[in-house]
C-alpha cells in the first residue's frame, strides 16, 4: 500500500507540467548568452560546441564568395537579427538550413542546389529566422522533457504490477530515442536540432513569419509555396519507399512535418499580392562555380530518382546545360537500370552540345560505347576527350583503352 502511494506521488510529480516554465517570448536582437544554470544556457552551450565543431568540420565549405552571398540573402530577411547570426555553408547533400539559439546558422549544399532562385532560398532562411526569433528550440526542449517525464511516469505506473509492454504507446519512438541520447555528446547541429523536434504549430508559425519577412524584403511571395512544392515533388520521385512516404530518418519531413495544409496556407497568403524579386540569374550565377561539386556530392546519396528530378527542374530554367546534362548522364550510368546505359549515352551526347560540358563527358561516352561494343563511336569519344583534356591524370588509361580497341579490331 505504501509503495503504491510512493509511486503515485512520484508519478504525479513527474507528469505535472513544468510549472515554473516562463512563456516563450519573441527574442530581443543582440541577446547576450543567458544566465548560467538556466536551461537556455545549457542549450546555448551545446550549440556553441556544435559551432566550434562546424568550423573544424570536414564538411565545412569555406568558400568566401559563396558564404558572403548566402549571408547577404540571410540578412535581407533576418533584418534586425542580422548581426546576431553567423553563417556556415556545409557540404551536405540534403535540403536543410538551421538557426541555433546562439545565432549560428547552417545552410547545407543540398538546399543551395534545390532552390531555383534567390527568393526560394530567402524564404527558407526567413523560415529558419522565425524559429530563431520565437525561441522554438527552447520550447521544443521543454516539450521533450515534459513528454519524457510523462513517459517515465507512465512507465513506472505500468511496471508496478502490470506488463511494461505498451508503456510508451502514444509517445513517438523518436522522442524517447532522442531523450536517451546525450545531447552533450552531439556535436553536429543537425542532431542537436532533431533532438528537439518542432511541432506542427511551430512549423506553421515559422512559415507565416518567414512569409512576412520574405515579402518585407521585396521578394516574390510565390517563392514560399513553390520551394516546399519542389521538395514534395522531389521526394515523390525518390528511389526509396520510406522517403516517398516521408518516414525516412534524416528526411526533412522528420523535423519539418510538411503537408498540404501548410502549402495551401502559403499559396493563399501569396494570392493577390504583387510579384516581387525572384533573382533567378543572380542566384544561378552564385551557385554556378559550385554546381559540379554539389551535384557530385548529391550522387553519393544514390537516390537517383531525386537527383534526376532536381536536375530536370534546374534544366527547365535554362543555363548550365553542359554540367546538368553530364550529371543527368551520371545518374543513369550509376543507376544501371534496364536501358539506363542508352539513357546515359543520350544525356551525355546532349551535354556535349553545350559550351560548359565537362571534359569527362567524352570519356564516359567512350566507356559506355565500349560496353555496348561500338568501337567506332568509342574511338571518336576517347579522342575527343584526349583533345580536350591534354593534362588529364587518366590520359594513359584512356590511351590504353584505345589501344585495346585497335587490337581487337585487328584480330
Partner 1 sequence: MRNVIAAVTSAAALLLLAGCMTVVDAPVGTYKVGEAYQVSLGRHWADVSAIMLDRSHGVHVLSVDGPLLNRLYLSEGLGAGDSLVKSTVKEKPTPTYKTDFSPTETVEFVADSVAALGYQKVETSHLRPGRFGNEDGLRFDLVAKTTDGLDVSGSAMIAQKGGRLYVILFLAPTEHFFGDAAPEIDAIMNSVQFHGV
Partner 2 sequence: MRVWLIVAACLAMAACTTTQAKLATTADRPSPNAEILALQPDVQLAIITAGGVTEPRADWSTAARDNIAAAIKGALSAKGLKYTALDPTTVESGRNAQLLRLNNAVGQSILTYDYLIQLPTHANGFDWTLGDGVKTLATTYGGDYALFVNARGSYSSDARKAVIVVAAVLGVSVPTGGQALDASLVDMRTGRIVWFNVAQASPDADMRTPEGAQSLVKDVLKSAPF
- Per CB under 8 A, residues contacting partner 2 are 3, 6-7, 10, 13-14, 36-37, 39, 41-46, 49, 52, 55-56, 141, 144-145, 147-152, 155-156, 159-160, 179-185
Radius of gyration of the chain (CA): 26
Q: Which does 336 bind (CB under 5 to 8 A by kind): partner 1, partner 2, none?
A: partner 1
Torsion of CA 267, 268, 272, 274, to 10 degrees: -40
Which residue, 52 or 245, is less far from partner 2 as judged by CB?
A: 52
Residue length of the chain:
411
211, 228 Cβ separation under 8 angstroms: no
Q: Does 240 bind partner 1 (CB under 8 A)?
A: yes
**Closest C-alpha to 206, from 256, 138, 277, 246:** 256
Looking at the Cβ atoms of 276 and 305, the one nearer to partner 1 is: 305
Identify what 3 binds: partner 2, partner 1, none; CB under 5 to 8 Å per kind: partner 2
- For residue 253, state whether it binds partner 1 (rule: CB under 8 A): no
CB of 402 to partner 1, least distance (A): 13
Q: Which is nearer to partner 2, 47 or 251 (CB)?
A: 47
Closest CA relative to residue 55, chosen from 90, 85, 100: 90
Q: Which of the listed partners (partner 2, partner 1, none) does 401 bind, with a CB threshold of 5 to 8 Å by partner kind?
A: partner 1
CA dihedral sign, ordered 89, 90, 93, 99:
negative
The three-state secondary structure class of 2 is: helix
**φ, ψ (nearest 5 deg) of residue 88:** -130, 125
The residue among 119 and 357 lying less far from partner 1, judged by its C-beta, is 357
Q: Which residue has the cell 505498451?
A: 166
Binding mask 359-378 for partner 1 (x = CB under 8 A): ----xx--x--xx-------
Q: With CB cut-offs between 5 and 8 Å by kind, which of partner 1, partner 2, none does residue 179 bind?
A: partner 2
Say which DSSP state 326 is in: H
In the bound complex, what is the minimum distance in angstroms from residue 357's beta carbon to partner 2?
36
Residue 61 DSSP one-character state? E
Residues 6+ apart with CB under 8 A from 111: 94, 95, 96, 97, 121, 124
Q: Are 63 and 89 spatial neighbours (Cβ–Cβ below 8 Å)?
A: yes
Least Å from the CB of residue 249 to partner 1: 7
Does 250 sit near partner 1 (CB under 8 A)?
Answer: yes
Of positions 57, 67, 79, 292, contacts partner 1 by CB under 8 A: 57
Q: Which does 316 bind (CB under 5 to 8 A by kind): partner 2, partner 1, none?
A: none
N-term to C-term CA, the chain: 95
Q: Does 245 bind partner 1 (CB under 8 A)?
A: no
**Smaller CB distance to partner 1: residue 13 or 242?**
242
Q: What residues numbered 33-52 form the site for partner 1, per CB under 8 A?
A: none
CA dist 109 and 111 (Å) reads 5
Q: What is the DSSP letter of 168?
A: T
Interacting residues with partner 1 (CB under 8 A): 53, 56-60, 91, 185-188, 240, 242-243, 248-250, 300-303, 336, 363-364, 367, 370-371, 393-394, 396-397, 401
Amino acid at each position: 500500500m505504501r509503495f503504491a502511494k510512493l509511486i503515485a506521488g512520484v508519478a504525479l510529480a513527474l507528469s505535472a507540467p513544468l510549472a515554473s516554465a516562463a512563456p516563450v517570448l519573441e527574442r530581443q536582437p543582440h541577446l547576450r548568452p543567458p544566465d548560467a544554470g538556466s536551461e537556455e544556457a545549457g542549450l546555448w552551450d551545446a550549440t556553441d560546441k556544435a559551432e566550434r565543431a562546424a568550423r573544424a568540420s570536414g564538411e565545412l565549405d569555406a568558400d568566401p564568395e559563396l558564404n558572403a552571398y548566402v549571408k547577404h540573402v540571410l540578412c535581407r530577411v533576418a533584418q534586425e537579427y542580422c548581426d546576431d547570426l553567423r553563417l556556415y555553408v556545409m557540404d551536405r547533400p540534403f535540403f536543410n538550413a538551421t538557426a541555433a539559439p546562439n545565432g549560428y546558422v547552417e545552410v547545407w549544399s543540398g538546399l543551395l542546389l534545390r532552390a531555383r532562385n534567390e527568393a526560394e532560398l530567402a524564404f527558407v532562411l526567413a523560415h529558419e529566422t522565425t524559429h530563431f526569433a520565437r525561441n522554438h528550440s527552447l520550447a521544443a526542449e521543454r516539450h521533450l522533457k515534459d513528454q519524457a517525464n510523462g513517459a517515465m511516469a507512465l512507465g513506472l505506473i505500468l511496471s508496478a504490477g502490470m506488463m511494461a509492454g505498451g508503456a510508451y504507446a502514444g509517445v513517438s519512438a523518436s522522442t524517447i530515442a532522442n531523450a536517451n541520447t546525450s545531447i552533450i555528446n552531439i556535436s553536429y547541429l543537425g542532431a542537436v536540432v532533431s533532438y528537439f523536434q518542432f511541432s506542427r504549430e511551430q512549423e506553421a508559425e515559422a512559415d507565416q513569419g518567414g512569409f512576412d519577412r520574405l515579402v518585407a524584403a521585396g521578394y516574390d511571395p510565390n517563392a514560399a509555396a513553390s520551394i516546399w512544392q519542389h521538395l514534395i515533388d522531389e521526394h515523390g520521385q525518390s528511389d526509396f519507399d520510406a522517403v516517398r512516404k516521408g518516414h525516412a530518418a534524416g528526411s526533412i519531413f522528420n523535423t519539418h512535418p510538411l503537408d498540404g495544409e501548410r502549402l495551401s496556407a502559403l499559396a493563399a497568403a501569396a494570392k493577390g499580392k504583387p510579384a516581387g524579386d525572384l533573382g533567378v540569374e543572380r542566384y544561378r550565377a552564385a551557385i554556378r562555380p559550385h554546381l559540379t561539386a554539389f551535384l557530385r556530392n548529391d550522387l553519393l546519396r544514390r537516390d537517383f530518382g531525386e537527383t534526376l528530378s532536381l536536375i530536370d527542374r534546374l534544366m527547365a530554367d535554362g543555363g548550365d546545360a553542359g554540367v546538368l546534362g553530364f550529371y543527368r548522364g551520371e545518374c543513369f550510368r550509376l543507376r544501371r537500370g534496364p536501358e539506363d546505359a542508352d539513357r546515359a549515352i543520350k544525356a551525355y551526347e546532349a551535354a556535349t552540345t553545350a559550351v560548359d560540358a565537362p571534359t569527362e563527358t567524352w570519356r564516359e561516352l567512350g566507356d559506355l560505347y565500349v560496353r555496348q561494343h561500338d568501337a567506332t563511336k568509342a574511338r571518336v569519344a576517347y579522342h575527343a576527350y584526349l583533345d580536350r583534356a591534354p593534362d588529364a591524370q587518366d590520359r594513359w588509361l584512356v590511351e590504353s583503352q584505345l589501344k585495346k580497341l585497335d587490337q581487337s579490331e585487328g584480330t
